Structure 1
């Protein structure tokens, strides 16, 4: 697997495409359960989602996608280089029709979306509800705590700017990965 060249240790989302032999789909589902359990024991793992790809045109293979997240790129590398992961990849080889394909993405672009699922698949009202459930408590908490830690008499626009920066950082690296994981079965129910 290629490693993403990065000078930072940011959260990272990995997308893997699987092309499974049609007669090995049940074996693949068992493999998925096992690797998810194992990956969940590694530091920084924030969840994984496997789903059957909408591409059903080939009779030679069944396409699946996986999206999984790590809180830091360094934790992903630890997982990628682990003996446990290597063992799972060896078990996967007889199930594959084609070579695995990987994509890695940093940042907030993957708050909600999954590859090969059109954005309209996740209803906007669901995205709005989950975002509101994440943002409202965060803003209330910052509104309460910031005046306690900032110097007295600081201009209101500076306080708002600091609040916005904190909200964006927390939403991107902690809150939305957590919320997406908790609400994934509801958000991606029809995906």
Structure 2
């Protein structure tokens, strides 16, 4: 199971563009590290005086995450980043529903995550079941058919429905202080 980590850093005034450029360069280098599955940068909204930047990283597993953060490559980046940031970075592991609703700040209220998930699951479960029923409904025992349908639902939710719905509902989920997500290589 992949591991998602949210890192928040406060960038020094006047260093914002340098930090973003340096981080993008580090992103490209870091993708060569075994176990790194993706990274995204969340920046303050245009015109905002906020200097909080979010970095979202996904790793294959806990061992790869730990190896990445213990690597000389990361330690070198961390020292460079300290010259452009204030204070210590905050690290937070995202689990369960939080992984779909990841952001550098606190996650949305659980009721919002649950409601948005339900809005996605309901039609997806009906559509997936309807698509598989003519193909496999009579060939498989009911418990196996239910497993195939559940797998189809998970695939559609993970790579389609939830990323789309979370992007559309971001202002509602996080309120007015939502950062702009500039995705990097995944």
Give the TM-score category using the shorter length.
Answer: 0.5 to 0.7
Which of 9, 16, 24 is 1:25 aligned to?
A: 16
1:1-191 equivalences in 2 (<5 Å): 10-53=1-44, 62-116=51-105, 139=128, 143=132, 154=141, 156=142, 158-167=143-152, 175-176=158-159, 180=163, 191=180
- Aligned positions, number: 161
- Relative contact order: is structure 1 or structure 2 higher (C-alpha 8 Å, sep ≥ 6)? 2
In structure 1, the partner of 2:112 is none
Q: Kindly state the Cα deviation for residue 22 of structure 1 after the two structures are TM-superposed.
A: 0.5
Between 108-117 and 38-47, the greater mean CA deviation after superposition: 108-117
SS of the residue corresponding to residue 88 of structure 2 reads: coil
Unaligned runs of 5+ in 1: 1-9, 120-126
Offset of residue 80 of structure 1: 1.1
In 1, the alpha carbon distance for the partners of 2:27 and 2:14 equals: 22
Q: Quick one: structure 1 residues 108 and 46, their matched pair in 2 at CA, closer, same or farther if it must change by over 3 Å? A: farther
Unmatched 5+ stretches in structure 2: 109-115, 171-178, 181-186
SS state of the match for residue 159, structure 2?
helix
Residues of 2 paired with 1:86 and 1:70: CA distance?
Answer: 17
Q: TM-score, normalised by structure 2?
A: 0.62
Residue pair 1:111, 1:176 contacting (<8 A) in 2 also: no
Richer in strand (by share): 2
Looking at structure 1, the residues matched to 66 and 107 of structure 2 have their Cα atoms a distance apart, in angstroms, of 29
Query: Contact 2:2–2:61 at 8 Å: present in 1 too?
Result: yes
- Offset at residue 50 of structure 1 (A): 1.0
